[in-house]
A and B are shown apart, each in its own frame.
Chain A
């Protein structure tokens, strides 16, 4: 349960960073969750921004949120479920993600209390790992995440098959994840 306290000048003085700015600082974390829930980058962005409206509306109210991260996670989760239901009705996706998995992902997201320092270190490590990627793999990542291209579109561009592109991207993801973990361990060892 997220605590919503009564506004007092003293409370406000503790952290007068506008809620929306606090929300933006969690962008990557929330987008990761939304993509895990929807596997649709455009829909994830839309849900993220719908949740931003809720945050903006909250900032107009004379209430102080004691634990913004937890409160915002709940807002994002509800918006995600709403969007997933709407998408199912519109039958945009051939098969919905299993409800058990959606629940498990949401539980993991809500319970995740990773420290800010870990999250920041991971982000920095990822940037370095991306820099270390060979040009062709980096281009593959850019086509997928920057241009939002489908496996079909990428395969046409690189002269391959969609299945081969999907496998190649899976390998790059694993490579990046492994690189991030190694850098994190090295940093831990150095400190």
Chain B
């Protein structure tokens, strides 16, 4: 083996030793000298450094025990001990149109479109969706936050969010590293082990949580939307549409639902550029929403069930029992 190759191996030993924390002071100085003198040593160190960062990031997001290929991961449904009833209509995922029926469906859609009552408008659909979201009914959505151009390649994070009118919600990420929610009065958040952080002011919660919870993927979502509670609350999402978006009714392929497309008005510079949502034509309940940001990020909500839950379910004691509670003062 050549001297150059031997040198490379020696330097690699030093680099790996550094990340293992096994270098003596003298070897650390030797590594420092190599980094200062040799561009190839520097590049080797940097590539190891990037790998180390990725491994920590993948570990943080609980992607190391499962295959991490770029295909979107399936959602392992958390065990749910709460009594649940069927979603009161067809399942979104079960609607697989076959070629043999597509013509008939298209005809039905055309007929429906022609006969659509003139009273249905984008505004009326939005208004009904807001009324439905305000109902004191528990609805569980799957929220998928994805980024097709993330630093580490296409990335996706999935959560379950259960909402009820009055601002109540509970967020349960699949990796289980934390749980957060609101009982309508306070926002709260707890990691797997540790205290429960509670505040009544979500907008000031983001930086405070960020300082006090130096861990896990929570900070990504909070920091990405510091002006809204993660855009998680369906009512909040619909209110955002009402205030900042131009809306139009889009022809839906399913006569049992209405499709609204919302485009951010030009006088607002922040927030997702396009929001699409489908609502049940009969009940007004939001079935699916797709939020596209100007970059490659996207969030989708899909109604998966309508459980019946006790009021207490939205309180932190239900999800993080017997933990110390630390109340966060609002940042001034």
Cα-based distance from A109 to B50 in the complex (angstroms):
10
The 4 closest A-B pairs by CB, nearest first: A32-B53, A145-B59, A46-B214, A31-B53
Tally of B interface residues using CB under 8 Å: 60
List 12 contacting pairs A-B, 8 Å CB cutoff, sorted by A: A16-B269, A45-B60, A49-B219, A52-B223, A53-B207, A56-B207, A56-B223, A104-B32, A108-B46, A126-B51, A138-B64, A174-B12
Query: Helix, strand, loop or mixed for chain B's interface?
Result: helix
B226 CB contacts on chain A under 8 angstroms: 20, 56
Cα-based distance from A24 to B214 in the complex (angstroms):
14
Query: How does the 8 Å CB contact mask read for A115-155 relative to B, with 1 for contact and 0 for none?
Result: 00001101110111011000000110110111110000000
A127 touches B153 (CB 8 A): yes
A36 touches B56 (CB 8 A): no
Interface residues of A (CB under 8 A from B): 12, 16-18, 20-21, 24-36, 39, 41-42, 44-46, 49-50, 52-53, 56, 95, 97-98, 100-101, 103-105, 107-109, 111-112, 114, 119-120, 122-124, 126-128, 130-131, 138-139, 141-142, 144-148, 166, 169-170, 173-174, 176-177, 180-181
Query: Helix, strand, loop or mixed for chain A's interface?
Result: helix
- The B11-56 residues at the A interface (CB cut-off 8 A) are 12, 16-22, 25, 28-29, 31-33, 35-36, 42, 45-56
Interface residues of B (CB under 8 A from A): 12, 16-22, 25, 28-29, 31-33, 35-36, 42, 45-60, 62, 64-65, 67-70, 150-153, 206-207, 210-211, 214-215, 219-220, 223-224, 226, 269-270, 294-295, 297
- The answer to whether A17 and B25 touch (CB under 8 A), given A26-B151, A56-B226, A119-B151, is no
Cα-based distance from A128 to B60 in the complex (angstroms):
18
B53 touches A16 (CB 8 A): no
B46 touches A114 (CB 8 A): yes
A39 CB contacts on chain B under 8 angstroms: 18-19, 21
Q: Given A31, A53, A127, A173, which contacts B56 in the complex, CB threshold below 8 Å?
A: A31
A130 touches B68 (CB 8 A): yes
B16 CB contacts on chain A under 8 angstroms: 170, 173-174
Cα-based distance from A109 to B47 in the complex (angstroms):
11
Cα-based distance from A128 to B56 in the complex (angstroms):
16
B29 touches A101 (CB 8 A): yes
A105 touches B214 (CB 8 A): no
Cα-based distance from A147 to B58 in the complex (angstroms):
11
Q: Given A97, A120, A142, A146, which contacts B153 in the complex, CB threshold below 8 Å?
A: A120
A36 CB contacts on chain B under 8 angstroms: 18-19, 45, 49, 52
Tell me, rounded to whole Å, the shortest Cβ–Cβ distance linking A132 to chain B: 10
Q: Given A27, A111, A174, which contacts B53 in the complex, CB threshold below 8 Å?
A: A27
Q: Given A18, A29, A108, A138, which contacts B270 in the complex, CB threshold below 8 Å?
A: A18
A142 touches B64 (CB 8 A): yes
